[in-house]
Structure 1
């Protein structure tokens, strides 16, 4: 895999979920950091034999030097697969997204036509994003996100919400979802003011909407680096997770990974009533679907807080579904089907 430091995408879809199993089965899996080794010609004696007949996985973007090298040596490579988990073009033009994020996406968008042209296959976790990419490439496949974190016992549900031990409501999206959160902020504020048995965590730090920063029972820790968040996710327990998603072109390409994230923290999710969530959530069984009106989000949170036993049942159902749809075997089978079964290290590799 040519690593471009696009964690967590690289980890979720290959490096953590699948690569260790492939290695245990005797396959040769190598990571090359293309930012640290930005000029492939510095390793010109080694690389041709290393890449000959190999499957090469690239994710989101690459330095231009690597793109040029791969085009020059494509004839010797077994297969090139391009993994992309966002609608980059839509992100670069979405005025609801932070300016710095849009600028990064514009840089990637300029390279993406070359990435797509280079690839034998394009892989994405979202069916709708796949449909968009099929306008640009003849061979696009869907790999749903695997579940990385273990599912916890739901012991934090043993007490109903109360002022001593308030139930935890969490938003753990990235900065690209600030506008989505701002849309439902009135619901959070109203619920906060209505009852003392609930506490909120919004992991956006300084990027948290100002109105939420003022709430007495709303903590706003700074976003964590991916590996630190992955560990935090294993320890943190929430009762309710919020996953708003406005109807933008960028959001239409999203996968259902937030369903897995919320289940991994032991919570019941409230999700926007649109793709991808309306295809996997059974409303009232393993989560709740809410319309864009903040009043609907307020109602959903109240429903979960007012009926702890039903909420626990939903948490159990969500965990069961997350275990099924996020099982690593799905991703393993996907990559095995694309493997040339290189079972030993090339003599020049290490």
Structure 2
């Protein structure tokens, strides 16, 4: 028997727009408490009866087995889709790899879902009409941005020669993102950089670009803190402090390595931060600057005076 306070379990491939636009707001509007499980993770033990289980777009054999073994304690079963996932003909023209994913995680499970009496929720009247024999329920999209907080952009624009700096920054970004939900990270890097930072939330990796495109990028507003680490090696000894001008042009405050390259130009706490290459020191500085609007403004204005002379 389902208790009044029982939760609904939402099973999805991690954070995703389908859940945020449709499933989560629908459950919340109905006053339903819900928890989230990851599709590729281990299905949880069912200690107490659930109010229901909602599969968002996809299903796996492991979760099918879990449903069959625990059916009496799962309450209502629901499958939500916001694309035509069950019709192979509708997938013609899509990339072969994506078509295989749709077959593997959705299409081949259709008959099982119907045998198990799973309810169908869909995102549009078009889908509801196509699958009318299933008596689907149409969910209306809701904005997931209502309660989102403004983001401050922390950025590092490296090149292929900055591989060691990217690696050095990984734990810095990891700690900063964990401790300050208002921070996002912008990187310029190659496929290797994208893969390295793929497990971190709120990290955006831009492809390397030509100089005119980069100048236009810096002219767009919205960046808050720019980083310029330099590890002590022979190649870095020959660099010039041009990142000072890049960071200032971006409208941001710079944190620079306390290195001979930057010492002649950057005065600590005046027109930038000049820090030793110690990761925790950089994390602490990022978190402090993120919360101190007045200090950022003062440093930024002082940097602009130098940059524009």
TM-score of the aligned structures, taking structure 1 as reference length: 0.45
Asked whether the equivalents of residues 175 and 207 of structure 1 are also in contact (C-alpha less than 8 Å), the reply is no
Deviation at 1:300, TM superposition (A): 1.2
Asked whether the equivalents of residues 281 and 288 of structure 1 are also in contact (C-alpha less than 8 Å), the reply is yes
2:205 to 210, 220, 230: 220
Mapping for residues 210-289 of structure 1, pairs under 5 Å: 210-289=195-274
Mapping for residues 174-193 of structure 1, pairs under 5 Å: 174-193=159-178
The unaligned stretches of length 5 or more in structure 1 are 1-161, 325-350
Asked whether the equivalents of residues 160 and 190 of structure 2 are also in contact (C-alpha less than 8 Å), the reply is no
The answer to whether 1:172 aligns with 2:157 is yes
The unaligned stretches of length 5 or more in structure 2 are 1-146
In structure 1, the partner of 2:136 is none
* Cα separation, 1, equivalents of 2:247 and 2:179: 24
The answer to whether 1:290 aligns with 2:275 is yes
Asked whether the equivalents of residues 170 and 241 of structure 1 are also in contact (C-alpha less than 8 Å), the reply is yes
Instruction: Give the number of the structure whose alpha-carbon radius of gyration is greater.
Output: 2
In structure 2, the partner of 1:207 is 192
3-state DSSP of counterpart to 2:267: coil
Deviations 1:98-146 (A, max 9, x none): xxxxxxxxxxxxxxxxxxxxxxxxxxxxxxxxxxxxxxxxxxxxxxxxx
Mapping for residues 1-350 of structure 1, pairs under 5 Å: 164-208=149-193, 210-324=195-309
Asked whether the equivalents of residues 244 and 271 of structure 1 are also in contact (C-alpha less than 8 Å), the reply is yes
Deviation at 1:280, TM superposition (A): 1.2
Name the Cα RMSD after superposition.
1.7
Asked whether the equivalents of residues 182 and 209 of structure 1 are also in contact (C-alpha less than 8 Å), the reply is no
Q: 1:209 to 1:252 in 2, by over 3 A?
A: farther
* Cα separation, 2, equivalents of 1:245 and 1:284: 19
Deviation at 1:184, TM superposition (A): 2.3
* Cα separation, 1, equivalents of 2:246 and 2:182: 24
Q: Greater relative contact order (Cα 8 A, min sep 6): structure 1 or 2?
A: 1
Deviates more, 1:270-279 or 1:210-219: 210-219
The runs of at least 4 consecutive aligned structure 1 residues that moved more than 3 Å come to none
Structure that is richer in strand per residue: 2
* Cα separation, 2, equivalents of 1:306 and 1:256: 27
Deviation at 1:210, TM superposition (A): 4.0
Asked whether the equivalents of residues 152 and 222 of structure 2 are also in contact (C-alpha less than 8 Å), the reply is no
3-state DSSP of counterpart to 1:199: strand
* Cα separation, 2, equivalents of 1:174 and 1:207: 12
Deviation at 1:296, TM superposition (A): 1.1
